[in-house]
Structures are given as structure tokens and as C-alpha cells.
A and B are shown apart, each in its own frame.
Chain A
Amino acid sequence: MKKYPLTAAQNMHYQWIRKYGTQQVSGLSIVASLQADLDFTLLEKCIRMEIKRYSCMRVQFTKPDSNGHIKQYISSAGTYEIPLKDLSDMTMEEADKTMQSWAYKTIDGDDIPMFEIFMVKLPEGYRGFFLHMDHRLIDSCGVVVMTNDIMSLYTHFKFGSEMPEDLADFEEVLLKDLSKTKNEKRFQRDKNFWDNILDKLGEPIYSDIQGPLTLDRARRKHNNPNLRAADIELKDLFVAVEDYKLDPDSSQTLYNFCQNNQISMTNLLLLGMRTYLSKVNNGQTDISIQNFISRRSTQDEWTSGGSRTIMFPCRTKISPNTDFLSAAQEIQDMQNQIYLHSNYDPQLIYDEIKKRYHTPDNTTYESCYLTYQPLTAKMDNPYLKDIPMHSKWFANGAATKKMYLTVSHTEDGGMNFSYHYQTADLNEKHVELFNYYLMRIIFRGVEQPNLTVGEIMAAV
């Protein structure tokens, strides 16, 4: 059985597991269910087929070596338990709460399956499956592909729809990814890009959603009035979630702005977030936000599973005299450059920063993280399209990030702003305030893109 090193995206999760001392930070869980009398015998057969078809599900990890390094391999399609859990006597709220508790569980051990999957009977006649998986095996795009594939298998056997096409081979795509990291010229180009940012802008500086107090506290703790990084929370990782909806009409205003000005939604959101951070940090112009990107472009990358989501710091230094549209374009230019250099392991960026500026251990330059996730866990299957469904992503309950915003589309054409935040430092009010100002900043900018960023900060 061949063993491979982790990719940069997988290593990111592994390093979090090591740093925070629990696999919980790498948990990913969903439920996908339909209000239909699903045939559980058939569903189990389809899930078993999926485990064979979607080989990323069979990835296991070796015991860490003396340096803490692990390797991955694809185990044979052995026997997996797929129990049926009956939650139908509960209310949906209680059922969600029970599944949420499953999402908090850790998958501990070496050379073991890194997922569990249950078939579930839910209240109100919903039937489906719950998946709990290690993030090193799959990301949200991968989950959507998997869910659709299972249900395509189901409708093939149940209703005679076409057999879904084979999914791309995880191992082949993994090998291609690993070979890219060995391309010396590519590595050097990527390294130059990231090093040049430091040459040009110097050491980054932390900006907190609560304002300068967190950085001030870190400066006192480290007895260094010039410290530019703040401590991260390592002990109390409990995460709470707040969701805020944006109605379809207002969302359409944002889509139109993006389309008319050739600005991506990610960059509009980044601009809104950085403007808020600048506002509450005394007009600080140098702002870094972590942005997650899902590196899936080719058909093989889309359907091979695996974890292809990786985060890079989007660092921009924008003068308050810059008009909103130009600021959005400035962010877009930076993001495009980042996309071009996204084969790089982001850990190397921080290794370089540490080498240059002696950043203390367990400190960070970023308080906010963004994922723009246009995909939903919806089953995209014509045989199921009129059947009500209940699907939900469950937080793993352990946040490595102070505030992590996931922006997704809702089925009615609106948007959902989902905030996962560490309760050690933040509460619902902080997040509510952030979302309130984020909306005001973005909509003021979209309505009057000629206003400067400084004018918008003052106006909102």
C-alpha cells in the first residue's frame, strides 16, 4: 500500500490538530435528508458503493514519526458499520441537537477510518444520512459531490435513472498535487510573490473586531510595545454560531454590483470586512484577513474529493482616500495574485514572517476568516427536486479561529451570513454589531461606489 505525504491543505488541518491538541478542530459534519419514505436497505447499499467509488473516504493516516509527521494511504474498501439511528420521536430541534452532539465527537487513532456515517430517521418523515468526517479527507465541495453521488446511485437503482459517471480518482489527483509542490520553478515563483509582500509592506499588523484592546493586551503580556501580533486562544475553543439572513432583493443588489463592475462576491465581502476592521481600529490601513479558497477548477479536481480548501492571508494597505470601487479592484488584484500562487503552503508564509520579525509563538495577525461558499448541500437531482429536504452543516464545536464567517446562498435567492466565533472572547453582541456594520458598509459602497473608504467609515 503506497503512502504519501499530506498536501498543504491537509497539513493545515493536521497542524491545527497538533497545536490545539484535539482532532475535534478537524471535524466536518452534515445531515442530508428528504421528506420521503427512503428505502434504507437500498440507501445502505448506495453508501457502501460510495465508499468504494469515492476513495478519499478511505484515506487513513499513519502514526506520527519522531518528528510528528504522518503519512496518508488509501485503505481497501473493507467493512464499515452504517447503523440506522431513529430520532423520529423527537422534534426537529431536538434531533438537530442530538446530531450536533455527534458532530462534537473526535475520531482518534492511527490507521483507522476517519469518518462515520449513520442512516437517520428524523422527525416529520425526513429520512437520510448523517456524515461525520475528518476535514483532511474532504471539504464542503467534496461533501456536496458525495451527497449528490449517493442520491444519484439511489435514484438509479430505485427509479432507473442513469448510473452516475465515475468520480475522478483521488490518488491520481493527489499525485498531481504532490508533484506540483516539487516543481522548483513554481515553488520559487510562489515564494517570491509572498516574500515580496513582506519586502514591500513589512511585518503585518493585527486588527481585531473588538478594536485595539486585544493587541494592546498582547503588547502588555509580551512586554513589547511594538508587538504587531496578538495571542490566540488555545484553551477555550468553544464555538457559538449566529446566522443572519439577507433577503433576496438586497442580495440581488450585491450580485448586480458584482456583475456590473466585474468584482467577485468574495472581494466585495473582503472589502466590507476590512473596512469595518479599519474603522474600529482607529483607521488602521494595513489589514489582513484570512480567506479560504477551494482549489477546484478541473473536472477531476471537482469530483476527486479530498480536502482542497486552503486559506491565505489577503493583506491590503488601502488609503481612506481610495474610492470604494477602486478599493474593491485593489483587493481583486491581490486576490488574483494569491490564486496564481495558491499552490504554496501557507505555513511557509508564516515561517518566513517568524524568521524576519521573530513573531512570538501562538500569536496571529488575523482575527477574521472568510469563506464564500456559493454551493449548498442541496441534492441536485431531478428525481428528487420536488421533495422537501432537511440538510444542515454542523459546527465541530472547537474553533481555531476567533471569528469565521461563511457566506452562502439560500434557496430563495438570498444570502446567509453564518458566524462561528470563539465564546472565550466574543459574544452574540459583538457578532451582531460586526454584521450590522458589514451590511451598512457594503450597501453604502454599492450604492455610492465613488465615495471614499474614509467617507464610508465616517458615514456608517
Chain B
Amino acid sequence: MSTKAKFLKLVSQYSKTSLDQLSGNARFREDLDFSSLDFMSFLGELEDEFDVELEQDKIIQIRTIDEALSMIQELQEVG
């Protein structure tokens, strides 16, 4: 499964939204109704799933699905 597919599957699980309803510019908090706990747990899951370590100052800038996916892909390329 590609990074994007795995990533979207996780978003779908955490947002309780089906894959075909997800759009890249959906915002985690405002559109997908993530609580702080949901969002931070989701980030932890991303770290585990993609074997990356997220930087704290970058985490707070993430608002949308596309931004989070780009960050994971960048970290994978660096790693």
C-alpha cells in the first residue's frame, strides 16, 4: 500500500469518515472534528506507522490533510 493510501486510511479511521468523503484541503479540527486528543493521538500513530519523528514546531502548523501528508512524505524522503 502506498504512503498516501496508508495515510488516508488512518485519517478515515480517526475522523470516522469514509475514504471517498475525504478531501485534501479538509481541516482536521474544523472540518473533521478532531479533538486535541484525537489529533495528537493521530500524529503519534503517523510516527509509528511511517517510522518518522515529527518536529514539535512543525506539528502546530499542520491544519489540513494535504499538509500532514506532505510532511510525512518529506520526512520519509529525508529518512
Name which residue of chain B comes closest to A266, CB basis: B36
Contact pattern, B 35-66, Cβ under 8 Å of A = 1, otherwise 0: 11111111110011001010010000000000
In angstroms, Cα B44 to Cα A337, docked, is 10
Q: Which B residues, 2 to 47, have Cβ-Cβ distances below 8 Å to chain A?
A: 13-14, 16, 35-44, 47
Closest to B56 in A: A337
Q: Mark A278-305, 1 if CB is under 8 A from B, else 0.
A: 0000000000000001110111100000
Q: Which of A62-70, A114-122, A182-190 contacts B (4 or more CB under 8 A)?
A: A182-190
Q: How far is the CA of A299 from the CA of B18 in the complex (A)?
A: 11
How distant is A169 from chain B, measured CB to nearest CB, in Å? 14
Interface residues of chain B: helix, strand, loop or mixed (majority): helix
Q: Is the interface of A mostly helix, strand, loop or mixed?
A: helix
| Segment with Cβ contacts to B, from A47-55, A221-229, A339-347, A434-442 | A339-347
Distance between A433 CB and nearest chain B CB, rounded to angstroms? 31
Which residues does chain B contribute within 8 Å of A183, judged by CB atoms? Answer: 48
A297-B36 contact in complex given A186-B47, A186-B48, C-beta closer than 8 Å:
no
With the chains together, A293 CA to B36 CA distance in Å? Answer: 11
How extensive is the interface on chain A, given as a class? 20 to 34
A-B contact list, 10 entries, CB within 8 Å: A180-B48, A186-B44, A189-B53, A264-B35, A297-B41, A298-B13, A332-B36, A335-B36, A337-B56, A342-B37
Q: Among the listed A294, A295, A299, A332, which residue makes an inter-chain contact with B16, where contact means beta carbons less than 8 Å apart?
A: A299
Contact of B13 with A299 in the complex, beta carbons under 8 Å: yes
Distance (whole angstroms) from the CB of B34 to the closest CB of chain A: 8
Verify A342–B48 contact, CB threshold 8 A: no
The CA of A256 and the CA of B20, in the complex, are separated in Å by 33
Determine which of A264, A299, A300, A339 lies in contact with B41 in the assembled complex, contact meaning CB atoms within 8 Å: A339
- Supplied contacts A185-B51, A189-B53, A339-B36, 6 more A-B pairs, CB within 8 Å: A185-B47, A297-B41, A298-B16, A300-B13, A337-B40, A340-B43
Q: Name the residue of chain A whose CB is nearest to the CB of B16.
A: A299
Question: How many Å lie between the Cα of A297 and that of B42 in the bound state?
Answer: 8
Chain B residues, Cβ within 8 Å of A341: 44
Chain A residues near B (Cβ < 8 Å): 180, 183, 185-186, 189, 264, 293-295, 297-300, 332, 335-337, 339-343
- Among A186, A297, A332, A337, which residue has its beta carbon within 8 angstroms of that of B38? A297
Distance to closest chain A CB from B15 (angstroms): 9
Residues of B within 8 A of A339 (CB): 36-37, 39-41
Assuming the A-B contacts A300-B13, A335-B36, are A295 and B47 also in contact, with contact meaning beta carbons closer than 8 angstroms in the complex?
no
- Please tell me if the beta carbons of A295 and B35 are within 8 angstroms of each other in the complex: no
Q: How far is the CA of A293 from the CA of B38 in the complex (A)?
A: 11
User: What is the chain B residue whose CB lies nearest that of A179?
Assistant: B48
Q: In the complex, what residues of A have CB within 8 A of residue B47's CB?
A: 185-186, 189
| Candidate in B13, B16, B44, B48 with the most chain A CB atoms within 10 angstroms | B44
Smallest Cβ distance from A339 to chain B, in angstroms? 4
